Structure 1
Amino acid sequence: MTLPQHLVPSLADVRAGDVVEVTGDEAHHAVVVRRLRVGEPVQLCDGAGRVVTGEVSETGKRQLDVTVREVVDHPEPAPSFTVVQALPKGERGELAVEVLTEIGAARIVPWAAARSVAVWKGERAAKAHAKWQATAREAAKQSRRAWHPQVPPLARTAQVLDLVAAADLAIVLHEEASASLASLPVPATGEVLVVVGPEGGLSPEEVADLTAAGAVAVGLGAEVLRTSTAGVAALAALLSRTSRWA
């Protein structure tokens, strides 16, 4: 069984034998919820590739000290996968973020597509974005990721087009597309970007703009998937053709 992982801001200067202090909500979760005790093994991660294992040396209600036994630096996975996720209704956004994180997305970009039913504005936008970030953080810890995904602020279509143009491979999921994922060569390095539309589908203008920027429109078979699951299915299919899932 893998050790429970807890997130700390940075492990950049940590070496074997050092004591790392975990505080705040993270320590409270470890001590009060997980009931970690002195002498038990634990894993700490900074979300930027460094993972340490050690033993709990001291606990408090909102404090956890870990004596480091081993430090491992994990290379950033390649290729890197970015998913541009149009805003879904209700809690389906958090569902998409959770599973995309678990299977390895490096970046999950919320997108205000033309037909998105959900709207992020003002205080609601800040709260919704924070919830996506928290969901990604918890899912990364649960799946023992060394590199945690980025969840940038809400993107407009112009920004998405810039992301498409910069990617080594960009695809847009579209039910009317004739091309399939199996027909596309997946690069061994660089960035692969997947654009997922909203429940109401992409507008013709969005499809035209995305493909003009360099995206390839592809379908996912005869079935019509929800926006919260389409990106997950596409990412899994792409990952299965890389060394990451070899």
Structure 2
Amino acid sequence: MCFTRFLISPHALSGTLSTFTLTGREAHHLTHVKRLGPGDLVELIDGSGILAKAKIISINRPEVGLQIVEVSKQLNDCLPINLIIALLKADHMGWIIQKATELGVQTIYPVITQHTVVKVNPEKTDRYLVRWKKIAGQALKQCRGNFMPNIYPVISLEDALGKVPCAGAKILLWESEKKRSLFTAWKDQKNAIPVTVITGPEGGFIREEIIACKEAGFNTATMGIRTLRSETAAIGSVAALATMMTSDLEKKS
């Protein structure tokens, strides 16, 4: 039986807690949206693999008292995919964070490029991160995942290239690449994992950025004959890689 899930702070259930107090948005969601009450069972997740089954024992708005019934450590269900995505407008970026979380991306690097449309206020970058993590948390509950993606603050493309794991496959989606498909680009790198994918801004990459990515070991690839929106290319590539990885695992099992 599936119980409604609520997201709590990472490591909040560390130790041997027998009770827990749910507060804030999650408590409001439990009482006002789900309309649960004393005696009902729920699940708590912290985004780092901890899953707890709990029983509601009291509701004293804005707090909900829970009795911890069982706590377990879940396997990491993220896929070995890192997504470097040029910063897009707020609604598009939120959509990418949501879908990337549902698909199981392990790391997301929002980056600034020469043609990035969004004007970034350095004083507001923390707000972006808070909002993205909130979106990822809601998506994690909906898809019944166990691990949140690691979402970095906004950084430059150059800095992101320096954070990419040395091992694994590296793929740059580029509209000027006409021959090598995503599948071929990964196959050419012996289906190595993790896979790091870079997708560009609405205006595409400039020549110097393409050169920098290639020098960092990235192979260019295309998603097909049509020119895709940035958000479509990002999530389309992740979904395709997720499917190929699942197929690859089936062959090895």
Query: Common fold, TM-score beyond 0.5?
Result: yes
Q: 1:114-133 residue pairs with structure 2 within 5 A?
A: 114-133=114-133
Partner of 2:243: 240
Provide the residue aligned with 1:32 in structure 2: 32
2:8·2:44 contact (CA, 8 Å) conserved in 1? yes
Using the alignment, how far apart are the partners of 1:124 and 1:208 within structure 2? 30
For residues 219 and 81 of structure 1, the distance between their equivalents in structure 2, rounded to whole angstroms, comes to 18
Q: Name the stretch that deviates more: 218-227 or 188-197.
A: 188-197
After the TM superposition, which segments of 4 or more aligned residues of structure 1 sit over 4 Å from their partners?
186-190
> Structure 2 stretches of 5 or more lacking a match?
none
1:195 to 186, 198, 203: 198
Is it true that 1:225 corresponds to 2:228 in the alignment?
yes
Listed as ranges, the gaps of 5+ residues in structure 1 are none
- Give the drift of 1:238: 0.6
- The structural deviation recorded for 1:122 is 2.8
Per-residue CA deviation, residues 94-151 of structure 1 (Å, 9 max, x unaligned), is: 1111111111111211110111101212333333332222211221122221101121
SS of the aligned residue for 1:47 comes to coil
**Greater mean alpha carbon deviation, residues 74-83 or residues 144-153:** 74-83
Identity %: 27
What secondary structure sits across from 1:71 in the alignment? strand
Alignment of 1:130-141 (within 5 A): 130-141=130-141
Query: Offset at 1:202?
Result: 1.1
Q: Contact (CA 8 Å) 2:169, 2:192: kept in 1 or not?
A: no
Partner Cα distance (2:215, 2:241) in 1: 22
The residue number in structure 2 matching 1:95 is 95
**1:28 is matched by which residue type in structure 2?**
H
Structure 1 residues 62-71 or 144-153, which shifts more? Answer: 62-71
CA RMSD in angstroms comes to: 2.3
1:37 to partner: Cα distance: 0.8
1:165 CA drift (Å):
5.3
Structure 1, 32-41 or 65-74: larger mean CA deviation: 65-74
TM-score in terms of structure 2 length: 0.87
Matched residue, 2:47: 47
Contact 1:78 1:189 in 2 (8 A): no
Q: Does 1:58 align with 2:87?
A: no
- 1:181 equivalent in structure 2: 182
Q: Partner amino acid for 1:202?
A: F
Deviation at residue 166 of structure 1 after TM alignment: 2.9
